[in-house]
Structure 1
Amino acid sequence: MKLEKILDKLGSIEKNSFIKIIDNIISKNPRNIKEINKILSSTDKGLKSVDNQNISTIFELTEKEFQEQINCEFQEITSQLDLLIDIIIRDGNCIMKQDWFSRLYENEIKHLKTKIKNLNADFDKDTSELSASRVRDYKIYKACLQTAYYNDVDNNREAKITSDELSIILTLAHQLDLSQEEEKLINYSILPVKKLEIQEVIKSLKNIGVIFYSNKENTIYVADEMVRMLRKVRQQEVAEKFYRRTLKLLREPIINQICKDHNIDRKLSYSVKIEEIIKEGVSFTNLLLEDIYKVGGNLTDKKKTLNELCEKGLGISNLKGSVLEDKISSLIEHFENVERDEKVGISIDGFDKLLTELNLSLPKLNKQIKDQFELQDEYVLKADFLLDYNIKPRDILDLIEKENLTKFIKDNGVKQRGDDILNILEHYKDVENLYLENYENVAYRNLNLLKENGIIVKESELGLKFEELTSFIFQSLGFNVDEVFKNELNTKKDMIDILLNLGNDEVIIVECKTSKERGYNKFSTVSRQLKSYQNVALKNNLRIVKILLVAPEFSDDFVTDCEMDTEMNLSLITASTLLNISDAFKLSKYKEFPHVLFRDIVINEDRIIKALSK
């Protein structure tokens, strides 16, 4: 769930710890202080009076400083911060009831203690599957960590690991190619892990700003933006779902070699081994630098293998970079962009239909998804629910075994030639709703984003498509979009885009304008056009209740010119505002939109949505 959406759900007391931390960062003149001050200049009451959208923007501007503060918390070795962060950044753990979090924490402690016991036994057993060189790596890391921690005790100081010591230890772990889980096991074998009270754990996480806690709902929220930042803290380059997607493209012998290198049982099934590699926190970069290639392969072979993995397996062509490291960085950046993108790839209705039919065809899938993402609800195959956890259609399909995908495809008449997952996504795209979800992109004539979101359209068709979508939205608001009457009124010279017939010879004229440029500013041109439409309507003895101009956005000059115009009853409405009003109307008690609410020069979205909710 996005930070802004979480902040909207919470009271001021529940946001207080987070706001205080951001306030403290701002007081120390962070890197982006100029941009922050521009936002704060609109209020004289400080950060607490800034709206949630701008708080979210300010967090983005202070993310590096926030991350530095979290890194400092790791110097307190008894904090269990590594263990706790590993829980809250897992896919599906961004929203949790307190009792569910308590259960996950308890299970993590038990699991950790069992693995530490097994690891210590492996150090001494002659029959251990660990190679002698791997045992040596573990012992070197453990000895260095032990010295860093206990040298304070020897000098009669409080035992802690300084930032200098920590940076050396992290470098050592990286050079020894230790996974995060291996680091964690050795760390807690030196300082035994102690189970803390869950309220104490929640309070500590809340005080450093990484979670929000709703007392009313007994629920923990971790913002998507915070999850991405915490992954950087834990040096996890990609989300689990993208790691899984990549690992599933590798042959089993390669998966077995990775398991051998990181003390994972190779007797497990293929899919379980993949999950264990992800849980171990094996470095994604190291995996693609060394682990997936044939022994003795040269650099050219490695580049070719990586390119094939990305192009044929992941469907990503033209990775940037000429050296292997740059190509891997480019892949990580691609996954970050996919995760940040709020678009689903198919429409929400299409996602719901896909989930319903998956549940009918594969009745065990609900439990599999629930277990995989550690979700608390009993029935989880609901689009809105999953999207709050940032789980998208592709993430669900990636978890389904090949034979089950084949069964589903046959059961539901999906195209069978080509890539199974891409065929399923295409089948459930639901183009009409997908266009509506991309309404603002159509308004901005943003062909690249439309293409990325699964819409192929010619630029010459965008103006007409925007008009069609706007017409559909007004119909959904309960208006009579009168095409017949409009065609009777239109002349070769004057062509009204949309006519809303209110009855009793009363109409609303709607004009639609798309624009690539930011800030629509052609008032003189559009005003002449609208006055011509007005004259046509008046000649036909019609009363014009309102003229509405719909565009992606309006420049300040355009708004000023509109305010100064005395000849037309004109209001301006942005595409995003119209769509949000339409969404709010669906949840309201009204059968037909009360058009008297269209009374501002620039239509005020918040005021109208508030009025509709009464």
Structure 2
Amino acid sequence: MKLENILDKLGSIEKNSFIKIIDNIITKNPKNGKEIDEILSASDKGLKSVDNQNISKIFALTADEFQEYIKCEFQEITSQLDILIDIIIRDGNCIMKQDWFSRLYDSEIKTLKTRIKGLNTNFEDDKSELSEVRKRDYKIYKSCLNTAYKNDIENNRDAKVTSDELSIILTLSKQLGLSQEEVKLINYSILPIVTIDIQEVIKGLKNIGVIFYSNKENTIYVADEMVRMLRKIRKKEIAEKFYRRTLKLLREPIINQIAREHNIDRKLSYAQKIEEIIKEGVSFTSLLLDDIYKNDSTLTEKKKTLNELCEKGLNISNLKGSTLDDKISSLIEHFENVERDEKVGISLDGYDKMLAELNLSLPKLNKQIKDQFQFQDEFVLKADFLLDYNMKPRDILDLIVKTDLTNFIKDNGIKQRGDYILNIIEHYKDVENLYFENFENVAYRNLNLLKENGIMVKESELGIKFEELTKVIFKGLGFNVDDAFRNNLNTKKDMIDILLNLGNNEVIIVECKTSKEKGYNKFSSVSRQLKSYQNLGLKNDLRIVKVLLVAPEFSDDFITDCEMDTEMNLSLITAATLSNISEAFKTSKFKEFPHVLFRDIVINEERILKALSK
């Protein structure tokens, strides 16, 4: 669940710890201080009086400082913060009742103690499957940690690992190629591990701002934005669902190779081994750098294998980067963008229909999903419920074995040739609604995200598609999008995109621009174009009430140039803002959008949404 939505559910006292931390960061001149001050300037009473949408924006602006603050909390190595954070960042654990969290915590401690015993046995057993090289790595790490922890006792001080010692230990674990789970097991074979009262656990996590706790609902909330941050701190580059999606493309001998390297039982089933690799916290980067290739693979062969994995398996074409590291970074960035994208891939109705029909064809699926994500609810195949946990249709379909997918496709008359999962998504999507859900992705010409969300479109068609969608949005706002009048006005040289006819010879000219680049910055060329359109209208005795430029975003220089222009009544509106205004208008009292609200240089979304809600 998004941070803003969680904040909307809570009272001021329940948000207090989180607000205090951000307030403290703001007092220390964060790098985005200027942008934060602009948000706060609208409020005389400081951060506490800022609305939840802007608190969410400020959190994003202080993300780097907030992350460093949490990292400092990790320096108290006996705090069990690694155990607790590993629980709350798992897919499905971002919303939990207190008693459910207590069960998960107790289970984690119990499992940890059992596995520590197993690890210690493997250290001593000559017949264990651990290779001598791996035993050596474990012993080196364990000896260094033991020294770091116990050397204080010799100096008559409390045993602890200092921040300097911890940084060295973390570097050592990375160089030895230890997974997070391996590190955790060795750590807690030396450090005392005790079960802490669950109320104290919740209080501690709430005080450092990583969770929210609703007293009324007795429920823990972890914001999607916080999960991503905590995952970075724990060096987990991608969400489990994307890791699973990638691992399922690998042949079993490769999975066995990874399992052998990280002390995972190779007698487990293929699916179980994949889950164990994910639980182990094996680095996704190291997996794609070394673990999935044959020992004698050349760099060229590794690049070819990775490209095929992305193009044929993950349907990601044109992976950026010339080096293997660059390609892996591009893949991680792609998964991050998919996770941040709020679009579902099919309409909400389509998602519900898909889940209902999956439940009929595969009656065991509900329990499988419930167990996989450790959900407390009994029936979980509901679109709204799953989306609160950021579980999209593709994430659910990824968990279904191929034989069950085959049966489901046959039962529901879905196309069988090609990729089963993409065929199912295609079958249930509502194309028109889907395009509107992806309006901003069309503006950014983001082919990969559009493809991920179930839209197959040529890049050459995106400009026209953006214009068509913008027309429909303005029609939905009650404007007269007068194509006939526009066509009569247009010349071979001057081709206005959209003309809104207000009557009485008054019009609004709308220009649509898509751009892959961040921050649309071509003011000189677009201003000449718009002035030419304006002159065309004036020659035809029209009053140009407003010129609107719709683009994915605008650079600071572009906005400044626009502010200095005295010849046009020009306003800038981002695709995201126009989309949000359109949604708010649907539930407003207005039959036609009051165009006088388009009066800023950069259209102020928050002000317009407030006006529409009155």
Fold shared per TM-score above 0.5: yes
1:272 maps onto 2:272 in alignment: yes
CA drift of 1:465 comes to: 1.8
Looking at structure 1, the residues matched to 169 and 448 of structure 2 have their Cα atoms a distance apart, in angstroms, of 43
1:312 maps onto 2:312 in alignment: yes
Residues 450 and 294 of structure 1: is their aligned pair in 2 closer, same or farther, counting only changes over 3 Å?
closer
Looking at structure 2, the residues matched to 450 and 188 of structure 1 have their Cα atoms a distance apart, in angstroms, of 41
> Residues 445 and 462 of structure 1 are in contact (CA less than 8 Å); yes or no, is this contact kept in structure 2?
no
> Residues 316 and 448 of structure 2 are in contact (CA less than 8 Å); yes or no, is this contact kept in structure 1?
no
1:52 maps onto 2:56 in alignment: no
Aligned residue for 1:273, secondary structure, equals helix
Looking at structure 2, the residues matched to 23 and 460 of structure 1 have their Cα atoms a distance apart, in angstroms, of 43
Aligned residue for 1:267, secondary structure, equals coil
CA drift of 1:552 comes to: 3.6
Map of 1:262 onto structure 2: 262
Map of 1:239 onto structure 2: 239
Looking at structure 2, the residues matched to 459 and 315 of structure 1 have their Cα atoms a distance apart, in angstroms, of 19
Deviations 1:289-317 (A, max 9, x none): 22211122333322222222222222223
Map of 1:473 onto structure 2: 476
Aligned residue for 1:307, secondary structure, equals helix
Map of 1:373 onto structure 2: 373
Deviations 1:77-97 (A, max 9, x none): 221000001001111111222
CA drift of 1:247 comes to: 1.0
In structure 1, give the amino acid aligned to 2:415. K
1:125-524 alignment to 2 at 5 Å?
125-439=125-439, 444=443, 446=445, 448=447, 451-452=450-451, 453=453, 454=455, 456=457, 458-459=461-462, 461-462=464-465, 465-466=468-469, 469-470=472-473, 473=476, 492=488, 513-516=511-514
After superposing the two structures, state which structure 1 stretch, 343-352 or 602-611, moved more.
602-611
Aligned residue for 2:300, secondary structure, equals helix
Looking at structure 1, the residues matched to 199 and 105 of structure 2 have their Cα atoms a distance apart, in angstroms, of 12
Looking at structure 1, the residues matched to 154 and 184 of structure 2 have their Cα atoms a distance apart, in angstroms, of 24
After superposing the two structures, state which structure 1 stretch, 38-47 or 23-32, moved more.
38-47
Deviations 1:486-527 (A, max 9, x none): 8999995599967899xxxx9x99976534468998599569
Aligned residue for 1:294, secondary structure, equals coil
In structure 2, give the amino acid aligned to 1:394. R
Map of 2:493 onto structure 1: none
Map of 1:64 onto structure 2: 64
After superposing the two structures, state which structure 1 stretch, 243-252 or 342-351, moved more.
342-351
> Residues 98 and 219 of structure 2 are in contact (CA less than 8 Å); yes or no, is this contact kept in structure 1?
yes
Aligned residue for 2:374, secondary structure, equals coil
Q: Which runs of 5+ in 1 are unaligned?
A: 536-546, 566-570
Question: Who wins on radius of gyration, i.e. which is larger?
Answer: 1
Looking at structure 1, the residues matched to 98 and 474 of structure 2 have their Cα atoms a distance apart, in angstroms, of 46
> Residues 85 and 230 of structure 2 are in contact (CA less than 8 Å); yes or no, is this contact kept in structure 1?
yes
Aligned residue for 1:183, secondary structure, equals helix
> Residues 467 and 497 of structure 1 are in contact (CA less than 8 Å); yes or no, is this contact kept in structure 2?
no
After superposing the two structures, state which structure 1 stretch, 387-396 or 433-442, moved more.
433-442
Residues 326 and 585 of structure 1: is their aligned pair in 2 closer, same or farther, counting only changes over 3 Å?
closer
Deviations 1:366-398 (A, max 9, x none): 221121112222222222322221212221111
Number of matched pairs: 585
> Residues 445 and 459 of structure 1 are in contact (CA less than 8 Å); yes or no, is this contact kept in structure 2?
no
After superposing the two structures, state which structure 1 stretch, 38-47 or 320-329, moved more.
38-47
After superposing the two structures, state which structure 1 stretch, 124-133 or 354-363, moved more.
124-133
> Residues 523 and 561 of structure 1 are in contact (CA less than 8 Å); yes or no, is this contact kept in structure 2?
no
Query: What is the TM-score of this pair, normalised by structure 1?
Result: 0.82
Deviations 1:321-374 (A, max 9, x none): 333333222222222222222223333333233222222222221221121112
> Residues 95 and 389 of structure 2 are in contact (CA less than 8 Å); yes or no, is this contact kept in structure 1?
yes
Looking at structure 2, the residues matched to 525 and 549 of structure 1 have their Cα atoms a distance apart, in angstroms, of 9
Aligned residue for 2:96, secondary structure, equals strand
Aligned residue for 1:193, secondary structure, equals coil
Q: Which runs of 5+ in 2 are unaligned?
A: 491-495, 515-519
Residues 449 and 42 of structure 1: is their aligned pair in 2 closer, same or farther, counting only changes over 3 Å?
farther
Residues 30 and 128 of structure 1: is their aligned pair in 2 closer, same or farther, counting only changes over 3 Å?
same
Query: What is the TM-score of this pair, normalised by structure 2?
Result: 0.82
CA drift of 1:605 comes to: 6.7
CA drift of 1:280 comes to: 0.8
Deviations 1:416-452 (A, max 9, x none): 222212222222231111122234566x585758855
Aligned residue for 2:210, secondary structure, equals coil
Deviations 1:543-579 (A, max 9, x none): xxxx9998648979999999x99xxxxx999875665
CA drift of 1:149 comes to: 0.9
RMSD: 3.9
Residues 533 and 582 of structure 1: is their aligned pair in 2 closer, same or farther, counting only changes over 3 Å?
farther
Aligned residue for 1:96, secondary structure, equals strand
In structure 2, give the amino acid aligned to 1:72. C
Map of 1:541 onto structure 2: none
Aligned residue for 1:366, secondary structure, equals helix
Aligned residue for 1:220, secondary structure, equals strand
Deviations 1:115-149 (A, max 9, x none): 11222222233432222332232222222111111
After superposing the two structures, state which structure 1 stretch, 412-421 or 178-187, moved more.
412-421
Residues 26 and 254 of structure 1: is their aligned pair in 2 closer, same or farther, counting only changes over 3 Å?
same
Residues 138 and 39 of structure 1: is their aligned pair in 2 closer, same or farther, counting only changes over 3 Å?
same
> Residues 438 and 450 of structure 2 are in contact (CA less than 8 Å); yes or no, is this contact kept in structure 1?
no
After superposing the two structures, state which structure 1 stretch, 444-453 or 458-467, moved more.
444-453
Aligned residue for 2:21, secondary structure, equals helix
Map of 2:124 onto structure 1: 124
